[in-house]
Amino acid sequence: MCVTGPGTIDAALTLAERGAILVTFGDMIRVPGSRLSLAEGRAQGADIRVCYSPLEALALAQEQPEREVVFLAIGFETTAAPIIGMLDRAVREGVGNLSLLTALKGVPPALAALIQDPECAIDAFLCPGHVSAIIGANAYQFLAKTHHIPCVVAGFEALDILHGIRSLLVQHIEGQARVENPYARVVRANGNPRVQALIRHYLHPEDVEWRGLGVIPGSGLALRPAFQDFDAAHRFGLQVTPGRVHPKCLCGDVLKGKIMPSRCSLFGRGCHPDHPVGPCMVSTEGACAAHYKYVSTEGATE
C-alpha cells in the first residue's frame, strides 16, 4: 500500500467516476492520490467499496451483471495469491463484467534495488513471513550468495521478530551471510509452488514505479496479454500515469531507512493519522503512523 503511486489512485478514481463499482482493500481508501483519496472520491458520490476478500468483488459482479466492477489490485505476492485465485475463478465461470486495475509488485526485485543504493547501506534483511510463505525462503538466496547480505525470515509475533534479529546479529558477528528460516512453521524453502504457478500463469514481470523509490526493473506483476480483457486499463482505454506527490513528503526516504519519520517537516504537523499526506501515515502498519503513535511528536524535525 505504501508504495502504490498516486497515479494508480487517480486511475481508480477515474473509473469510479465513470460509473464503475471500484472495490479495494481498506488500507487503500485513505491513501492520497494527486487530487483526492478514494475516501474523498466516495464522499463525492463515486461508488467505492471496501472488501476483506477479493472474492467479494467477484460476488458483486455476479450479483450486478449490468455494472462494471473493477478490483484495485495492490500489494505484494501475499495479496497477489488471493487476487489471482479470484481472477482464475472469474475466468473459469465466465464473469465478463469484472476487471483488475493492477498495481501488484514483487519483493525480491525491490530488495535487489535497495542494496544497489549506497545511501541505504543495507547490512541485513529481516524478511517478511507472509510474503515468504508464498515465494519461499530460497527466494532470498541471491542476496546471501551473490551480495553477502544475511537474510532471516520472521513472523510478526514479538518473539518471532526478536528471534529473527538475534539470528541476524549472530551472522553479523560471525561474518557470515546465509538465509535462515526460523519461521518454518509457516514458511517452506520453496514456498507454495501451486500458488506460484497460478501467479505465473496470469501475471508477468514488468518495470514499474514504486512510490518514493522510483522505477524498479522487473518488480511489477502485470496481467499477461492473453488476459487483457480482464485488465481494467485496457478495457476502458485508461493510461495510468505517475501522478503527483506532495513535494515535502519524504515517505520514500522513510521507506529506505534513510531518515526517521520525525525528520520529515510534515510529520505531526500537516501530516498525521487523521490527515495523512503520505502513505506511510495511513495504515497502522506504516512507519510514520507507528512512529506517531509510539514516539512523542515533540521536536518532530530534530
Per-residue pLDDT tens over the stretch 221-273: 999 999 999 999 999 999 898 889 899 999 999 999 999 999 999 999 999 99
Query: How many domains does the chain fold into?
Result: 3
Cβ pair 143, 115 in contact under 8 A: yes
Are 75 and 161 members of one domain?
A: no
The verdict on residue 67 lying in a domain is yes
Report the percentage of the chain scoring pLDDT > 70. 98
Are 75 and 214 members of one domain?
A: yes
Are 148 and 258 members of one domain?
A: no
Q: How far is CA 243 from CA 11, 42, 124, 167, 211, in A?
A: 9, 19, 33, 41, 10
Confidence band for 2, pLDDT divided at 50, 70 and 90: confident
Confidence band for 296, pLDDT divided at 50, 70 and 90: low
**Which residues have a Cβ under 8 Å from the Cβ of 162 and sit 6 or more positions away?**
none
Coil/strand/helix, residue 114: helix
> For the domain that residue 118 is a member of, what is the CATH number?
3.40.50.11750
- Which of 142, 157, 180 lies at the terminal end of a domain, its last residue? 180
Point out which residues pair with 103 in neighbouring strands: 74
pLDDT at 45: 97
Q: How far is CA 29 from CA 33, 163, 257, in A?
A: 10, 34, 25
pLDDT at 302: 40
The verdict on residue 246 lying in a domain is no
Q: Which pTM was predicted?
A: 0.92
pLDDT in tens, 65-100: 999 999 999 999 999 999 999 999 999 999 999 999
CB burial readout 224-258, b (16+ within 10 A) else e:
eeebeebbbbebbebebeebebeeebbbbbbbbee
CA atoms of 30 and 50, how far apart (whole Å):
11
Are 35 and 155 members of one domain?
A: no
Are 135 and 274 members of one domain?
A: no
The verdict on residue 161 lying in a domain is yes
pLDDT at 283: 85
Are 43 and 139 members of one domain?
A: no
> For the domain that residue 100 is a member of, what is the CATH number?
3.40.50.11740
Q: Which range marks the domain in which residue 209 is found?
A: 6-106+193-235
**H or E segment at 22?**
strand 21-25
Alpha carbon of residue 23 to chain centroid = 16
